[in-house]
Amino acid sequence: MNGGAGAVGSSPAPPPVGGPGWAYFFDLDGTLVDLVDPPAVVRVDPGLRELLESLRRVSGGAVALISGRSLKDIDTLFPGDPPMPVAGQHGLERRAADGHLSRHEPPTGLDAARRMLTGLADRRIEVEDKGLSLAIHYRLAPQLGGYAGRLARLAAAQAGPQYTVLPGKRIMEIKPSGRDKGVAVREFMEERPFRGRVPVFVGDDITDEHGFEMVNALGGASIKVGAGETAARWHLRDVRAVRAWLTRAITAAQVP
């Protein structure tokens, strides 16, 4: 079936909002907050933090953020005590609900890619070093997408065969193979308080497709934000629609 706004394969029906016994996973940029240029200037309003904390409370803590951003960056945007479960850099670093931190150290070779990208002449392209991965941003110059892709592939080749290029919305990432948002969802689902629950994953980008595929395989709900072909089974129009969905999810997650 074809969903609204060009989402291929998704249902035209409103997405499920979960309930008691569900686990909630969210991408960040383009899903919970609008995309901005450059990404470093994004701001998270108190209302969004309150919505997520409310959902976290009524769901027994089964809420996690899964983002391409670094864990440090996410914690700056979403401070909390205790901090929220988070997977950063597409799962290369992850904090479980009990606070345990895990980092999947990159294979040798990333330094070679760093050296290649150092001193990039075209300042319309930003190279972000996340520590375990590298990102090439071209949101300020979308016409340079082809060039950014070639540059990313050259950098990945410098890093070695254990690295891959992950394209997103006006971004190219050079990261170790074998780690993605779907793997992060699976790891969370093996731990409390996520274990045994029905997962829902909400995301907007190509990088979220692994998450959609994983929750589909687990019998959960995959929700795509915005237009585009997708493995997600449901669709929300934009960030504003996600916030409205969050409000309904909080009500649904409360045990009667």
Q: Catalytic positions, please?
A: 27
3-class state of residue 39 by DSSP: helix
β-bridge pairing 198-203 and 221-225: parallel
Beta bridge partners of 164: 175
Q: Copy the structure tokens of residue 213.
A: 């595929």
Q: 255 near 20, Cβ under 8 Å? A: yes
Task: Read off the amino acid at residue 224.
Answer: K
Query: Distance between CA atoms of 146 and 92, rounded to whole angstroms?
Result: 26
User: Sheet containing 86-88: which strands, arranged edge to edge?
Assistant: 101-103, 93-95, 86-88, 63-66, 22-26, 198-203, 221-225, 234-236
Peptide bond before residue 107 is cis, with ω within 30 degrees of 0 = no
Query: Distance between CA atoms of 146 and 3, rounded to whole angstroms?
Result: 29
Q: 181 near 208, Cβ under 8 Å? A: yes
Q: 197 near 206, Cβ under 8 Å? A: no
